[in-house]
Chains A and B, each alone.
Chain A
């Protein structure tokens, strides 16, 4: 199998698996004062230190949650009823929860997915949001936002700043002190940890209201019995990222493969275009569109004919009947969004994997374009690639 869906979830690292299996033998509730409880709590605090170290935070600034969605929901819950501004390309767990809980202004992005500076300044000035949330790396097209500068502007206007760094963790260096954010969402399973565990960085002194109440865990900031096994797995994955310096590995090993795949697709597949801004994006994400071919069909043919695993921004695969809001926000074209495919590479991805894609994909696209009612070539050339 050629697995190119690492941004959806990553295989469990053997280090994380070992830590989890070991933690399964811990019988005590970490909140208990007896010896087994204390032993379990030690594991949690070890993991917390590793996670904190990964983003240059203090351990007491880390709250374990059930994952990125809970972390994002925790943020919107703190600012429920307040004026909130979030980027138009946030993950649905931020977009939908913000819209549900608050009067929310969407900050538009340009064709690369970068925040539109003029509109951002206007929103800060006119809407006076209490909270601004802009993701560090977009999950669909990989755009890296200039969070340090954006956070400064938010702070200057009196707002606090949250960033969803779920797709950035382990892929690019992260330093919460340098970029000076007030809150940050991260998740374990994007870095080879288990699904069902994530964290929220809360800078000391930042406003906080727990989303889940009814327990004193996490100093009253997140009720619920500690998930010792998952937290141990997260800690081990975090340690792996720190000790191996995976952002450097991604830059040296994965980025050239990602760019090779982009170049080969553009060269060899008629009417293809790249939705990812290659010079300002995470090193492992490549989002492409193929005119007149539909994304779910591309995805399933790649699976069936090449054992190649990718994801798509097509409405047909989304479950809610809508095409990717990210591609719609950047390229403003439903056909382009329906035809988008995300290749997300990992440290295990090889040149042979890229070659396998290129022996399979061109034929699939040619055939889908051949039986399509749409004529490829209708999308204006100048609108078709941004970087």
Chain B
């Protein structure tokens, strides 16, 4: 078969002419939605999706994490990484950062979790469930619940990672 003029062209970093600041991600959408009617998601999910909190842009090795955990499988379409900083004296989560590969509810639920976890003691943070995250977001469509609300498992894994490092 004859090759098209675009054959084997593969975009690469060197061709990119992007001048995008990471913080533009946090801009509020200018084109609005009618509340709760246009998407399958609640306003709260939309808000966390469009303006995610505490995400980490780019290379995670530049962020000092006391513990980190990852959960999910890109083959299934969702994966979350949670990174936490801990106040050793109070055993409290002082900062949370996350990265997510996934759909709108995956991004929104990880963002919501980061808000829920910050300031909690480790034991308290371990009680955060998928139901608590979903409830915080005002609900999620049924078919989204099992695949996209995984962040609490990544958080538990991050806490375990921190405790393991402390004990060794």
Interface residues of A (CB under 8 A from B): 112, 259, 262-263, 265-274, 277-280, 292-297, 300-301, 304-307, 314-317, 319, 321, 323, 334-335, 338, 362-363, 366-367, 370-374, 381-382, 384-385, 387
Report chain A residues within 8 Å CB of B74.
334-335, 338, 373-374
Report chain B residues within 8 Å CB of A269.
11, 16
Report chain B residues within 8 Å CB of A277.
4
Q: Are A374 and B29 in contact (CB under 8 A)?
A: no
Q: Are A297 and B6 in contact (CB under 8 A)?
A: no
Per the bound structure, the CA–CA distance linking A317 and B78 in Å amounts to 13
Q: Mind listing 13 A-B residue pairs with CB under 8 Å?
A: A263-B6, A270-B11, A278-B4, A296-B103, A297-B106, A304-B46, A305-B50, A306-B31, A316-B104, A373-B101, A385-B6, A385-B7, A387-B3
Report chain B residues within 8 Å CB of A306.
31
Q: Are A297 and B104 in contact (CB under 8 A)?
A: yes
- Segment touching A, from B52-60, B87-95, B131-139, B156-164: B52-60
- Rounded to whole Å, the gap between the CB of A124 and the closest CB of chain B is 22
Interface residues of B (CB under 8 A from A): 1-4, 6-13, 15-18, 20, 22, 24-25, 27, 29-31, 33, 39, 46, 49-50, 52, 55-58, 70, 72, 74-81, 99-107, 143-144, 147-148
Q: Are A387 and B6 in contact (CB under 8 A)?
A: yes
- Rounded to whole Å, the gap between the CB of A377 and the closest CB of chain B is 8
A363 and chain B: residue at smallest CB distance: B20
Per the bound structure, the CA–CA distance linking A367 and B29 in Å amounts to 14
Q: A321 and B147 in contact (CB under 8 A), knowing A273-B10, A335-B75, A373-B101? A: yes
B9 and chain A: residue at smallest CB distance: A266
Per the bound structure, the CA–CA distance linking A259 and B9 in Å amounts to 13
Report chain B residues within 8 Å CB of A267.
9, 11, 15
Per the bound structure, the CA–CA distance linking A370 and B62 in Å amounts to 13
Q: A373 and B18 in contact (CB under 8 A), knowing A270-B13, A297-B107, A316-B148? A: no
Q: Which of B1, B22, B75, B80 contacts A280 (CB 8 A)?
A: B1
Per the bound structure, the CA–CA distance linking A307 and B29 in Å amounts to 10
Q: Are A268 and B103 in contact (CB under 8 A)?
A: no
Q: Are A381 and B31 in contact (CB under 8 A)?
A: no
Q: Are B2 and A279 in contact (CB under 8 A)?
A: yes
